[in-house]
Amino acid sequence: MKKSVFVEEITAAFITESLPKLAESFRAEGATAATATATAMAAAAATTHDAAITTARLEASTAERARILGIQSNALPGHRELVAKLVADPSVSAADAATQILAAERVARGTRLGALQDDEKDLIPPAPGPTPENDVNKAAKEAVALAVKFGVVK
């Protein structure tokens, strides 16, 4: 004869006490499903993480390449050491580098101008003599006189 049990509410505690084998089966089934879900989620997270790292590295290397090319495009002759220093410093943008290179060029040109002005003071002034304009006028007058003498012009 079968015994029937009427219960108002079936809870985990009721199943554990009344049907221990069924409770253990539920636990094993849940643990397997949870393990599979956790494994799948961990794999997805690892893949997403790896993709994010790869993307970040690509973006960073592209930005650094653009920064270096920007600095090198602003380089002027005679400033190789400054450009190398600016390229080596990752905190310097291409615009900041251009400003520093132009400032260094202004200093170099000012120094060169001062040297040229000092050299000019040491030059011996040219001796006074015929100017190129006078030489051209004299030559033109001589050509006209010859043309009249030989009858080319009247």
pLDDT tens-digit map of 101-150 = 999 999 999 999 999 888 888 887 766 666 666 677 777 888 888 888 88
CA torsion 70-76-80-84 (nearest 10°) is -20
Q: Rounded to whole angstroms, how far apart are CA atoms 93 and 79?
A: 17
Contact 44, 70 (CB under 8 A): no
Q: What is the mean pLDDT of residues 21-38?
A: 83
b (16+ CB within 10 A) / e for 9-32? eeeeeeeeeeeeeebeeeeeeeee
pTM of the model: 0.50
Q: What is the mean pLDDT of residues 62-67?
A: 95
Task: State the average pLDDT for the chain.
Answer: 86
Q: Rounded to whole angstroms, how far apart are CA atoms 15 and 3?
A: 16
